[in-house]
Chain A
């Protein structure tokens, strides 16, 4: 039986002021897979992700995520769509006036009627999954960049969303914590069947996690497919990326 893609992007274009950021982007992502969006800085990765999570309205092209057609999503539709996804932003985007525990509790308090004790249990669980069990009472300003990222991830998975978008989760993490985080992504995918869309430059994470790769270059998709094929695809920019990234990893 053919598996229906969970994300379908067709001819997505985006232009801000006079600069064209995305040109005819087409790719698909499948359920229960980890898709990695790659590319050099400024290639349009975050812009693609912001289109996928509905923060940017679609100027041209079509985007479907799960059963939601983002082109014609009204306010109620966007609310339902938001409940189905978790998003880890590039800078964490934690609410600075709330402590970490409260940040993680927000989606649970606002969108469920679970008893307080259960919400607290869930917050502890999610924080301990990202190894921040000890930091629940700290405020974002008291955390390091890496800790903020992990706390934001705990908030993103608070509702066990079927699809998780992560914008550079590895930035600012040491190799041991990074490996632990990758392990968590794999667990989430295996045990809960979560689909993960990941933007990362970390080559070790790409090799550990990626089921599928979308390589962007100057706002266009230069390559889409699995990792093994990407390494031998013959596209100079893709091969150069892996060569340099591997070289840096080995160094």
Chain B
């Protein structure tokens, strides 16, 4: 019994209680013939098998692992496997690549569904929630106190952050708001026309944009755009030990990195929100003009009638809260990053998702309060 003879190919012959391997006991040969050889050896009728390696042309770590595999596979059949060789070179390879004892599985067993839920909930309350509140308290205090601390104002930093967070976002916020205003009016127009209530399109667009859609849309876009940038910037600084470097220079990383962003965000988000309101209303105005034949002056005069300062103030108040949430959440995830470069991506994603969730949650709560 044995495999066919080709140059370098692994061959084996079984004689009495011994199997003689020849050729190369290397990865490619084991990969190609291992299963067949094992199948043949399983038919071995005796209780002891000696594997002779003297005729081998070469052996590598896969060959050594294969011998161990044979031993393990035949042990349930109560066949004792012995390796035999008089060659020193082969003995050396066997010694070098000795298979260590399996102490534990090589990879982590995935947790069960309920275990995962339990662990996440426990982790959330034990660590995330607590630290989030602590960071919020720090940021809240320093946002006010650092306005008066001259040393905390690095030259140009506020303007730089305001441009990054606010000014650079103007085109996208404006465009999206215009389109949303347009779609909102378009979808409502068909319904209102059926009841002859065309003029109420103004009420709908103006109030929805100023109280709800303007602040919310702006916040969601800034969370995606600047929230992710803040999280990844802080996370990268943490991974590259810049945060540690700041600490060793007796600088507080939150005050140094986060507070300028918070100031910039608080100052720019309300303006972005006002801009979003304007563009949204213009979008609605276009539909009202061309779909419901409401002239621009009529739209204006109705808008002045239905729009109260409270509506605008609610939107601005929301935007202030949202700006705090976005910067705080980005910084929170950035400071908690673990796992090197891969962790930066993971935590940035979490920062954006959490920011958007918290923004919508805050919007719901404020909406209920000022209804």
Contact pattern, A 11-26, Cβ under 8 Å of B = 1, otherwise 0: 0000000000000000
Q: For chain A residues 149-176, which have a beta carbon within 8 Å of chain B?
A: 157, 159-160
- A96 contacts across to B, CB distance below 8 A: 339-343
Do A123 and B341 contact each other (CB < 8 Å), given the known contacts A112-B27, A191-B93?
no
Is A125 a contact partner of B99 (Cβ separation < 8 A)? yes
From the candidates B69, B96, B102, name the one contacting A124 in the complex (CB within 8 A): B102
Please report which residues of chain A, range 110-142, place their CB below 8 angstroms from some CB of chain B when the two chains form the complex: 112-115, 117-118, 120-129, 133, 136-137, 139-141
Q: Is A217 an interface residue (CB 8 A)?
A: no
For the complex, give the distance between the alpha carbons of A236 and B100 in Å. Answer: 49
Chain B CB within 8 A of A99 CB: yes
* A96-B343, A160-B26, A192-B60 given; A122·B106 CB < 8 A: no
**Bound-state Cα–Cα, A99 to B102, Å:** 16
| Complex contact B342–A126 (CB within 8 A) | no
Query: In the complex the two chains form, is B31's CB within 8 Å of A112's CB?
Result: yes
Q: Assess whether A160 is in contact with B27, with CB atoms less than 8 Å apart.
A: yes
> Which residues of chain B have C-beta atoms less than 8 A from A141's C-beta?
338-340, 342-343
Of listed A125, A136, A187, residue having the most chain B CB within 10 A: A125
Residue on B with the closest CB to A136? B106
Given contacts A114-B31, A122-B65, contact A128 B342 (CB under 8 A): no
Q: Is B98 an interface residue (CB 8 A)?
A: yes
Q: Does A224 contact B (CB under 8 A)?
A: no
Q: Once the chains bind, are A160 and B60 in contact (CB under 8 Å)?
A: yes
A114-B34, A114-B62, A117-B72 known; A101 vs B107 contact (CB < 8 Å):
yes
Contact residues in A for B300 (Cβ distance below 8 Å): none
B27: chain A residues within 8 A (beta carbon): 112, 159-160
**Given the interface contacts A96-B340, A191-B93, does A128 sit within 8 Å of B100 by beta carbon?**
yes
Docked complex Cα distance between A171 and B64 (Å) = 31
Task: From known contacts A97-B342, A192-B60, infer whether A124 and B106 are also in contact, taking CB-CB under 8 Å.
Answer: yes
Output the least CB separation between B121 and chain A (Å): 24
Q: Is B129 an interface residue (CB 8 A)?
A: no
Q: Does B50 sit at the interface, judged by CB under 8 A? A: no
Contact at A139–B31, with CB atoms within 8 Å? no
B154 proximal to A (CB < 8 A):
no
Q: A121 to B65, Cβ gap below 8 A?
A: yes
CA of A21 to CA of B130, assembled, Å? 53
Q: Which residues of A contact B96 (CB under 8 A)?
A: 129, 187, 191
> Looking at the complex, which one of B58, B65, B92, B106 makes contact with A105 (CB distance below 8 Å)?
B106
* Complex: A113 Cα to B97 Cα, angstroms: 20
A-facing residues in B42-72 (Cβ within 8 Å): 58, 60-62, 64-66, 68-69, 72
Determine if A33 is an interface residue (Cβ-Cβ < 8 Å). Answer: no
Least CB distance from B156 to A in Å reads: 31
Q: How far is the CA of A117 from the CA of B35 in the complex (A)?
A: 13
Least Cβ distance of B314 to chain A in Å? 44
Answer yes or no: B108 CB below 8 A from chain A CBs.
yes
Q: Which residue of B lies closest to A95 (CB)?
A: B342
A157 to B35 Cα, complex, angstroms: 23
Q: Which A residues between 5 and 51 are near B, CB-CB below 8 angstroms?
A: none
The answer to whether A137 and B106 touch across the interface, beta carbons within 8 angstroms, is yes
Q: Chain A contacts of B65 at CB under 8 A? A: 114, 118, 121-122, 125
Q: Are A121 and B104 in contact (CB-based, < 8 A)?
A: no
| Chain A residues whose CB sits within 8 angstroms of the CB of B100 once the complex forms | 124-125, 127-128, 133
Q: How far is the CB of A178 from chain B (nearest CB, A)?
A: 19
Among the interface residues A105, A127, A139, which one has the most CB atoms of the partner chain B within 10 A? A139
Across the interface, do A118 and B66 meet the contact criterion of CB distance under 8 Å? yes
B26, B34, B60, B102 — which one has the most chain A CB atoms within 10 A of its CB? B60
Mask of B68-98 contacts with A, CB within 8 angstroms, 1/0: 1100100000000000000001001100111
Residues of A within 8 A of B58 (CB): 193
Partner of B64, one of A114, A125, A187: A125
A186 to B341, CA, bound (A): 34
12 A-B pairs (CB sep. < 8 Å): A96-B342, A118-B34, A118-B66, A121-B68, A125-B64, A129-B96, A140-B340, A157-B61, A160-B26, A160-B60, A160-B61, A191-B93
User: Which residues of A line the B interface, CB within 8 A?
Assistant: 96-97, 99, 101-102, 105, 112-115, 117-118, 120-129, 133, 136-137, 139-141, 157, 159-160, 187, 190-193
Given contacts A114-B62, A124-B106, A159-B27, 10 further A-B contacts (CB under 8 A): A96-B341, A102-B106, A114-B65, A118-B62, A118-B66, A124-B102, A128-B100, A137-B106, A187-B96, A190-B92
What are the 3 closest A-B residue pairs judged by CB atoms, nearest first? A101-B106, A96-B342, A160-B60
